[in-house]
Amino acid sequence: MSKVTIRDIRTIFTEPDGIRLVIVKIETSEPGLYGVGCATFTQRPTAVKAALDDYLRPFLTGRNVADIEDIWQSSYVSSYWRNGPVLNNAMSGVDQALWDIKGKMAGMPVHDLFGGKAREAAAVYVHAKGADNEEVADSVRSFMAEGHHHIRVQIETPGGFATYGTGGRGSANIETSATNPDEGPRWITERIGERDPDLKYAHPGGVFEPKPYLRSTLSLFEHLRSSLGFDVELLHDVHERIPPILGVWLAKEVEQYQLFFLEDLFPPEDQEYFRMVRGQTSTPIAMGELYNNPAEITPMVKDRLLDFMRVHISQIGGLTPARKLAALCEAFAVRTAWHGPGDTSPVGHAANLALDLSASNFGIQEYSIFGERTREVFPGSPVVHDGYMWPNDKPGLGIDVDEELAAKFPFQERAYGGAWDAPRRADGSVVRP
């Protein structure tokens, strides 16, 4: 086959099940040969599209699709000021699509291009949540009955406080009888309402307080281990919300419950606190989804301050940098646990799976259970059963996008263009999301 070049790069927006997804499709000079990649930055999707349409498309049109490394490196420096989620997600969509094309040209799945399978399937974890201890326990039991072995658990904080990962109450306009921040958010709700009649701060942030959250979370772990035992692997995401010294305390307190890992105990800005945690507890630590560049997490890997590397593949620019980071982690006995929430498209999950299968230091894969409409839009979506994600072994990433069907689910209007509003402390100050 003669040299195959990039003929066009197109961005596809779709929202089949309430989450905005950004897909890149690269068409080539070879009729019928194309690739797809995930560029989803659901809080800033139109900015990613602009980076693709206005800059990467003209920069890369006519380039040899085989030159993935050179395309990545030149794209990375083409803006001079480099790095950041907008540029990196745009580059990721291109990068994943090029690996998809390379696999199709070779007649091989991408995991074979990375050295072949180190395992037949990738263990996944799913998300259990609830309003109280027993509701979470029931959710865990339900997932266990389906064959899941690793389950992240999150519980609502009593008193109407916002809580990450529960999908329940927590907006600041909830009425309670509270008069102090340990009992509920009504008093600050009224103050926010005075300066903001539309309660802009109430959606979806709400009011978060560390101590009530910590008490309810520790109560949950005690209940789950007492009622379910230690045969199921439990995970928990702090989501960087608490003061660092309380994070150190929490890591010590949960050691008795033998978590599979404790995630995002601190934000990247406070990562030096992980040294303090390492000196005081053996609770396994997971970190990484907020990093934009592998260089940012390299010191933590080198110093063995984390056990599971949780980087979001599209956030750092795609499979090309991610597979290098996985190799670095292997040298320091750090396992992979690629970020895989609902705003990682099925194409992104297929990319995750290519690395999960081929990396010897794979640990676990976060999985979002997609709705039926999303699976229809993305034929070939990875299949999960018995607690594992299984490949279809088709060439490339093994997945496609039905553009005609995708167009039937356009982006919906959102406040602030879809940007997140931050949760706030009871005094009105911002909390990291």
Question: Which of 331, 319, 344, 335 is CA-nearest to residue 396?
Answer: 319
Cis peptide before 341 (omega within 30 of 0): no
Describe the crossing of helices 294-302 and 319-331 by its angle, rounded to 10 degrees: 10
310 forms beta bridges with none
Candidates 351, 430, 381, 404; CA nearest to 113 is 351
d(CA 413, CA 305): 41
The answer to whether residue 164 is catalytic is yes
- Torsion on CA atoms 60, 64, 70, 75, rounded to nearest 10: 10
Alpha-carbon dihedral of residues 146, 147, 150, 155, nearest 10 degrees? 20
Torsion of CA 186, 188, 192, 195, to 10 degrees: 120
In 218-339, the DSSP E strands lie at 233-237, 261-263, 285-287, 308-309, 335-336
Contact present, 36 and 96 (Cβ < 8 Å): yes
Q: Which of 420, 403, 428, 433 is nearest to 21 (CA)?
A: 403
For this structure, is 55 an active site residue? no
CA-to-CA dists, residue 403 to 41, 373, 378, 400, angstroms: 19, 13, 9, 9
DSSP state of 396: B
H or E segment and range at residue 43 = none
Tokens 């990875």 found at: 382
| In the block, residue with structure tokens 């890149």 | 24
Of 111, 239, 312, 349, the catalytic one is 239
For the chain, helix, strand, coil in percent to 5 are 40, 15, 45
Of 127, 148, 149, 164, which is the active-site residue? Answer: 164
- Give me the active site residues, please: 164, 239
